Structure formats: structure tokens, C-alpha cells
Structure 1
Amino acid sequence: MRVQRWFIKEYFSIQLECRDIQEARRIGKKGEKARPIIATFSTLGLKINLYKQRRVLNDTAYYIKEDYPQNVLEKRKQLQEQLRIEKEKGNSATIKYDKLVIRSKNPNSTNNNKRMLSLSPESNVSSQEEPKVQASKKNKTQEPLKRTSSLSEGIVKPGMLNYLVPRNPANTPKQDSTNIVL
């Protein structure tokens, strides 16, 4: 853990406590090749913060990747061919988790993030303006609710105590006042 904290402090300028790293372990077989380290952080915010700053490692021998489950890794491997085809077409495409996201670069495409300007209505200003009436609210009632107790009506409504009954009424042992089976 000490090495990981030093590494993060050195490259990301983030001071970590021991409690911030939940688990850190190496994967793969021991050998001549360098083995990757999987780090699990105690908060999602810390993980996102580090992942956003992963570009500081561009000029180093280190890199950060997201760890995915095996089924997602297989799906991503299948999507790599489709990703290459879309990029050859000139579209901007990326793989997010296990989905291929394609943004076409066609200039005639109306699928962009900018909203279209609305046309303003013609300004026919009349001298007599109609008074604006506020719409009635759906949940508002005209009369205030009258509250009554269930005892005065003679009806007993189910309460929390009605749900505290044994699960197996036939096999239940004799209960004293301290035992409640939930």
C-alpha cells in the first residue's frame, strides 16, 4: 500500500490515507514481465478523480485502465472491429462500458448538441390584453381535509404490530414477552 500511495502522490499530487485504498493486488503470474496492479478505492469519487487525471502518465511507462468484468471484456473485444469500421467511415466512435457510441461527422446531420433557435411569434400587440388566469392545481382540494381517529369510527386500521407475527405459527415455541420473530 505504501508504494501505491507514493505513486499517486508523486504523479497525481493527491495525498492519500491508508483508509483510501481498500485493496491493492497484483494479477498475473510471477515472471519476467511486469504485472499489473488492481487497486480498489474506498470511495467512487477518488477513483473518478484519479481516472480523470490519467493523462499525466502519457510520457511515462505507466498507464491507468478501467477494470471490467470478464463478460464485458469479451463484448468490448467484439466491438473493436465495428469501432475500426466506423472510424474509417469518418465517424467519431468510442466504446463506453459494453456499448459502441457513434457520433457521425456528417455536416448535414441534425443530430448535434446545439438546440435549434425557435421562431418568435409575430408581434401583433393588441391594445386589449386578456387577463392571465392561473391554472388550477391538480392536488389542491377546495375543502380542508377532516382528520378523524380510527378509534372513533370503530374501524381498526392495520398498524406495525399486526405484522410482527411468527413465520411458522404451527411450529412456534411458547414465546415470552421478550421474543419477537421477524
Structure 2
Amino acid sequence: MINMDIQFQMLFDQMKLEMHKQTIELRETITKNIMDTIEEKLTPIIEENVKLMQKVGKLEKEVEYLKREKKSNNIIIFGLEEKEKSTSELLRSIQKEFKDEINVTIEESEVNRLYRLGKSKVANKPRPVLCTFLNRWKRDEIMKNKKSLKKVYVTEDYTKDVLEKRKALLPKLQEEKKKGNIAYLKYDQLVVKEPNTNNDKRKRELSTSPDTASRIHTKKQQILSSIKANRKNNIDVIRSRSNSLTLS
């Protein structure tokens, strides 16, 4: 009787193990089927989402290009005294400033838009001026000579995103300059170049080394003397040949 109870218990335990194993296998199978189904449903959605993200990225680039192109004929003038009472007077002030400082003539017909930025004048601080030209070349002419301007400062008309990027790059710009590197902002990028010390060192060595200069001069004199000697020998050979032919 006891043996039968033990056998029944062992059989029962074995059945429990089998049921537990089947339950796990069934759960894994169901989970796998569900995941496969979800993956099958999600795959085309994910692919479509990737395509949409690529299109959005492309559109963002096109929008940024259009914004930049729209501002490509613009300049912003800082520091121009704000005393004009009309747009015509403002134009005359700009014409005089650019003519006197960088010898650039601006005709009224070359200007498309001209106005102060900002709603109201700040005490003792003139508002910047936005100037839009009809032709890009006039804007480029001013930008090329802007470093010669003394009373005013001229910049490109950057978009809001570009201005934020430039502002974020300013600490890095100052850091690179402190290191002695040549650093400047080009649109929304920081350009850093190491100073070309090798050429400067070479120039200093050449200019402060009289022995080197003397050796170069001596070498030149030797080469010139050799050339003259060879030329003289060649002439003598030709003359001797000519005399021998005449005598014969």
C-alpha cells in the first residue's frame, strides 16, 4: 500500500513537471507567435516612418536653403546714428557712410528694402538697419570691404537657427584664440587653423643667418665661374676646328 502511494506521488509529481514544461513551451510559442505577428504588422509601419523621416529631413534642408537664399542679398548695419525722419534720409546716411569709408556707391535703384529693426529706439543705442539689395554683387562688394568701416559694423542677415548656433560657438571660438590658433566663424561653423609657424621660423632663420647668406653667394659665384669657363673652352674648341679646316 505504501509502495503504491509512493508510486502515485511520483507519477503525480512527474505529471506536474510535464504540465509545467508544456505550459512554459505553450507560453513561449504563444509569445513568439504574438511577437512575430506584431513584427509583421510593425515592419511596414517602421519602413514608412523611416521614409517619412527622410522626407522631413530633406524638406527641412530645403526650407533652410530657401531661408538662407531669401536673406542672401541682405546686410545688417550696426552703429549707424539714428537721427533720420524718413527712409529717404536713412538711405542718404548709408550712402554717405559707405562712400566715405569704403568708396562704395549705392544707388537708390539698387535698394529693395531699408528699415530699422526693433519696435522702439533704446536710449543712446541706435537700432540696427536691415538693407536688402536687388543684386547680390552689391552686397558682396560691401561685405568684402567691411573691415575698413570705422563708424559702423556690417554683418550678414542670419536666420534664427544660425544665430543660435553662432552664439553657442562663441566660447569655443574664444578658447581657440587663447590657444594661439587662427579661429573664426563661417556662417554656422567654427573654422580653426593652426598658425603656420614653420614658414615664419624658416624666414627668421634665413634673415638672421649671415653664414647661410654667404654660403649661398659663394655657391652662386662658383656656378657662374664654371659656366663662364665652360663657355670659353667651347669657343676655343670651335675656333681651333675652324682654323684647322681653313688650313686644310
Partner of 1:165: none
Specify every segment of 5 or more residues in structure 2 that has no aligned partner in the other structure, as ranges: 1-86, 200-248
Match of 2:133 among 16, 41, 48: 41
Conserved in 2, the CA contact under 8 Å of 1:8 and 1:15?
A: no
Of structures 1 and 2, the one with the larger relative CO (CA 8 A, separation 6+) is: 2
Residue 102 (structure 2) pairs with residue 16 (structure 1): no
Match of 2:179 among 86, 89, 92: 89
Conserved in 2, the CA contact under 8 Å of 1:54 and 1:64?
A: yes
- Rate the CA distance shift 1:81–1:6 in 2: closer, same or farther, 3 A: same
Conserved in 1, the CA contact under 8 Å of 2:91 and 2:114?
A: no
Partner of 2:156: 66
Conserved in 2, the CA contact under 8 Å of 1:12 and 1:56?
A: no
Conserved in 2, the CA contact under 8 Å of 1:94 and 1:100?
A: yes
Deviation track 1:98-134 (CA, whole Å, cap 9, x = no partner) reads: 001011126369xxxxxxxxxxxxxxxxxxxxxxxxx
Match of 1:7 among 93, 97, 116: 93
Match of 2:143 among 43, 48, 51: 51
Amino acid at match of 2:173: L
Amino acid at match of 1:85: E
TM superposition shift of 1:18: 2.5
Conserved in 2, the CA contact under 8 Å of 1:24 and 1:37?
A: yes
Q: Specify the structure having the higher radius of gyration (Cα).
A: 2
**1-structure distance, mates of 2:139, 2:131:** 9
Structure 1 residue ranges, 4+ long, deviating more than 6 angstroms after superposition? none
- The aligned length equals 107
**2-structure distance, mates of 1:16, 1:87:** 36
What is the alpha-carbon root mean square deviation over aligned residues? 2.1
Q: Alignment partner of 1:47: what SS?
A: helix
Partner of 1:162: none
Specify every segment of 5 or more residues in structure 1 that has no aligned partner in the other structure, as ranges: 110-182
TM superposition shift of 1:87: 1.0
* TM-score where L is the length of structure 2: 0.39
TM superposition shift of 1:56: 3.6
Q: Alignment partner of 2:191: what SS?
A: strand
Partner of 1:99: 189
* TM-score where L is the length of structure 1: 0.52
Deviation track 1:72-114 (CA, whole Å, cap 9, x = no partner) reads: 00000111111111111111100000001011126369xxxxx
Conserved in 2, the CA contact under 8 Å of 1:86 and 1:102?
A: yes
Q: Alignment partner of 1:19: what SS?
A: helix
Residue 116 (structure 2) pairs with residue 30 (structure 1): no
